[in-house]
Amino acid sequence: MSAVTPNSSIDILYTYEDENGCEYFDTETVFVELCDNVIEYAQVEVSLFPNPANNVLHLTSNVVMLSLDLFDVNGKHIFTRSVKGATSWTEDVHMLESGMYFMEIKTVSGDVIRRPFMVE
């Protein structure tokens, strides 16, 4: 493939061979625009520990969190916590029955991260 110059077009050639060995060709012209405002997004990291949890569950994140939503393994919503401005949080989980749960973390940048954890 040749280099593509911004604000120019390039022709792409498609070839296709069917089950009988017949070849088909088609071309498509693609216009390439200059992309001058690329935004790099940092990878969002969220840790839940200990896993499995008994009494408390600790959450840490490399981004500012907005809220936490807890769901059971069947998708039933259990609670929402407002944690606006936090990058760490401790949640009391002693009242939960043993099993698998999902913590949905919403960040101030609009990301939603879902992490599984176990309660013993």
Q: State the average pLDDT for the chain.
A: 84
Enumerate the domain spans of the chain.
46-119
Q: What 8-state DSSP symbol labels residue 30? A: E
Q: Is 112 helix (H, G, I), strand (E, B) or coil?
A: strand
Residue 93: what are its φ and ψ, rounded to 5°? -120, 15
Confidence (pLDDT) at 2: 56
Residue 39 to residue 18: CA distance in whole angstroms: 42
Residue 39: pLDDT band (50, 70, 90) is very low
Q: What is the C-alpha separation between 41 and 77, in angstroms, rounded?
A: 29
Q: Which pLDDT belongs to residue 20?
A: 86
Most confident of 24-28, 31-35, 37-41, 42-46: 42-46
* Whether the predicted pLDDT of 13 surpasses 90: no
Closest CA to 68 of 115, 111, 103: 103
Q: What is the mean pLDDT of residues 103-120?
A: 91
Taking the model in full, what pTM does it have?
0.64
Name the fold adopted by 46-119: Immunoglobulin-like (2.60.40)
Residue 31: per-residue pLDDT: 66
Q: Give SS3 for 37.
A: coil
Higher-scoring residue by pLDDT: 42, 119: 119
Count of beta carbons in the 10 Å neighbourhood of residue 27: 8
- Average pLDDT (10-26) is 76
Distance, CA of 98 to CA of 93 (rounded, Å): 10
